[in-house]
Amino acid sequence: MAPKVLVSDSLSETAVQIFRDRGIEVDFEPKLGKDKDKLLEVIGKYDGLAIRSATKVTDKILAAATNLKVVGRAGIGVDNVDIPAASKKGVIVMNTPFGNMITTAEHAIAMMFAVARQIPEASASTHAGKWEKSKFMGVELTAKTLGVIGAGNIGGIVCDRAVGLHMKVIAYDPFLSDERAAKLGVTKVELDELLQRSDFITLHVPKTEKTTNILSRDAIAKMKPGVRIINCARGGLIDEDALADALKSGHVAGAALDVFAVEPATDNVLFNLPNVVCTPHLGASTTEAQENVALQVAEQMSDYLLSGAVQNSLNMPAVTAEEAAVMGPWIKLAENLGAFVGQMTDEPVKAVNILYDGIPADMNTEALNCATLAGFMKATDSEVNMVSAPVIARERGIQLSKTTQEKSGVFDGYIKLTVETETRTRTIAGTVFSDGKPRFIQIKGINLDAEIGEHMLYTTNKDVPGIIGTLGMTLGQNGVNIANFTLGRDQSGHNAIALLYLDEQPSEVVLAALKETGKFQQVRPLHFDVA
């Protein structure tokens, strides 16, 4: 059955057609995002939800979205999506951070010009029939120091444009490398130095716990008198009351704001102050940007629903279409390794370590981590997937670690999973053969070569004669057919294991009969998703 997507906000017809052209069924209901009750009623039918800013994807909506796999936001901001709730539900949340980068950067530059030359006020005065030429004395941008807080995608473009305007650009960004700074032609500085040196300050960071009110009252007090501030990033990055006071005192000469702490901003302490330029969150509002993000979100969602490729996700490691094709068998192996240990473990887990040797060590190991955790946790919660598993693991206090190493044995690559509880440590390893089929190659340190089937039986015993006969006879007497049979032992007469691939799940009667023989330390039925 073809995946089904709901577009609940305004998206271009070209973007909607992308879904159709890719074989995805799509319902285009651009006004539905504002009708919460109706959205709640219908959301359960859809695998994907494409939105802009009007639709609010709340925990209540997510609870009703029984089939939902992905939410795609045409734009950068996802304030309207409850990402923690989506993650716990196993729903991928994507945005489109690159479709409107240039547009937003250009708006910041335009706002800087506007506040430098008081263009909006001068325009309003002239429209009113006044000719107040001497009133609107501006400043040049050339040779002024621009402080850029956040030199990522959009901030980097602003840096590039400002250098082209012959401004002196300094940047504060903990993640900005020396090489990247040199390429942009900017000087890296700490925040306090940026505040003290800048003639203009522009913000290009997301709103987080660390960046909320990054321009606080204390920060504004450290700024050079006559500074001008531009914010086209996110509301809440500036203490608006403190900025209003600084504007009134003249310490700050002007501000240009496209975003506000509360939006829609119909009333704000900064409104109607001299030389404050305000726009209604227009950073991404160009025809080019709106079309770009719409096309991008349609492509991203289609790729995920059809091939498992993950791009620009906020709660899942990125996996390209090429990676998804190559990694498919290894992701399945990781899930099965996790599923084995999950079904064998009856007590709380303290730590999980995953070793990637050879081929998988060079893959997207973050995605493989998620697959392993998902397989492990499905033993107790069938709704867990690669998105929700890391969230649940953190909630349970499970410590996850990974190790990578070059090829070290007879296999070109393998994955080894080690899980620790209060009382024991379990290990299992597996590989993918050239036929693309995952295999278990080691359990409890005992080597073997076991094909993975949907229905399996795992036993442990002392290495003594008669085990094979007991297993075969007991299963045969109860009508259970063995598709494959694998044995392993650490040394003669010591510990041994058996892993049987069966045509059907063994009944409690069969399990009881095996236990009653007294020959087995453990008898465990196992189930694996091999589709």
Which structural domain range is residue 348 located in? Answer: 317-448
User: 417: domain CATH number?
Assistant: 3.30.1330.90
| Whole-angstrom distance, CA of residue 312 vs CA of residue 331 | 20
Q: Judge whether 347 counts as a catalytic residue.
A: no
User: 83: domain CATH number?
Assistant: 3.40.50.720
Clarify whether residues 371 and 477 are in a common domain: no
Partner residues linked to 200 by β-bridges: 146, 228
Clarify whether residues 164 and 43 are in a common domain: no
Number of domains in the chain: 4
Q: Quick one: average pLDDT of 226-231?
A: 98
Q: Judge whether 263 counts as a catalytic residue.
A: yes
pLDDT score at 57: 96
Q: Quick one: average pLDDT of 37-51?
A: 96
Where among 417, 448, 479 does a domain terminate? 448
Q: Say if residue 531's pLDDT is above 80.
A: no
Asked if residue 484 belongs to a domain, the reply is yes
| Whole-angstrom distance, CA of residue 277 vs CA of residue 449 | 70
Clarify whether residues 270 and 207 are in a common domain: yes
Clarify whether residues 190 and 108 are in a common domain: yes
Clarify whether residues 268 and 346 are in a common domain: no
Beta strand 425-432 with 413-421 is: antiparallel
For the chain, what percent of residues have pLDDT higher than 90?
Answer: 78
Q: Say if residue 378's pLDDT is above 90.
A: no
Asked if residue 424 belongs to a domain, the reply is yes
Q: Say if residue 306's pLDDT is above 90.
A: yes
Cβ atoms of 350 and 310 within 8 Å: the answer is no
pLDDT digits (tens, 9 = 90+) for 408-447: 888 999 999 999 999 999 999 999 998 889 999 999 999 9
Encode burial over 161-177: b for 16+ CB neighbours within 10 A, e otherwise. Answer: bbeebebbbbbbbeebe
pLDDT score at 425: 94
pLDDT score at 28: 96
Q: Where are the beta strands (DSSP E) in 303-443?
A: 349-358, 399-405, 413-421, 425-432, 438-443
Clarify whether residues 105 and 94 are in a common domain: no
User: 511: domain CATH number?
Assistant: 3.30.70.260
Residue 297 phi, psi (nearest 5): -70, -35
Asked if residue 283 belongs to a domain, the reply is no
Q: What is the mean pLDDT of the chain?
A: 93
Banded model confidence at residue 216, pLDDT cuts 50, 70, 90: very high
Q: Say if residue 277's pLDDT is above 80.
A: yes
pLDDT score at 527: 94
Clarify whether residues 62 and 155 are in a common domain: no
Q: Say if residue 207's pLDDT is above 90.
A: no
Banded model confidence at residue 195, pLDDT cuts 50, 70, 90: very high
Clarify whether residues 110 and 85 are in a common domain: no
- Calculate ∠ Cα 401-407-412, nearest 5°: 110
Q: Judge whether 140 counts as a catalytic residue.
A: no
Asked if residue 312 belongs to a domain, the reply is no
Clarify whether residues 484 and 402 are in a common domain: no
pLDDT digits (tens, 9 = 90+) for 460-495: 999 999 999 999 999 999 999 999 999 999 888 788
Q: Say if residue 138's pLDDT is above 90.
A: yes
Banded model confidence at residue 338, pLDDT cuts 50, 70, 90: very high
Banded model confidence at residue 396, pLDDT cuts 50, 70, 90: confident
- Calculate ∠ Cα 508-454-515, nearest 5°: 25
Q: Which of 197, 234, 439, 455 is catalytic?
A: 234
Clarify whether residues 262 and 347 are in a common domain: no
pLDDT score at 318: 84
Q: In a 3-state reduction of DSSP, which class is residue 150?
A: coil
Q: Which of 107, 228, 281, 439 is catalytic?
A: 281
Report which of residues 384 and 428 the model is more confident about.
Answer: 428
Asked if residue 480 belongs to a domain, the reply is yes
Q: Which of 29, 193, 263, 454 is catalytic?
A: 263
pLDDT digits (tens, 9 = 90+) for 322-333: 888 889 899 999
Asked if residue 476 belongs to a domain, the reply is yes
pLDDT score at 40: 95
Asked if residue 531 belongs to a domain, the reply is no
Clarify whether residues 63 and 121 are in a common domain: no
Clarify whether residues 433 and 483 are in a common domain: no
Where among 448, 471, 487 does a domain terminate? 448
pLDDT digits (tens, 9 = 90+) for 447-459: 999 999 999 999 9
For residue 519, give the DSSP letter. Answer: -
Asked if residue 238 belongs to a domain, the reply is yes
Where among 421, 448, 475 does a domain terminate? 448
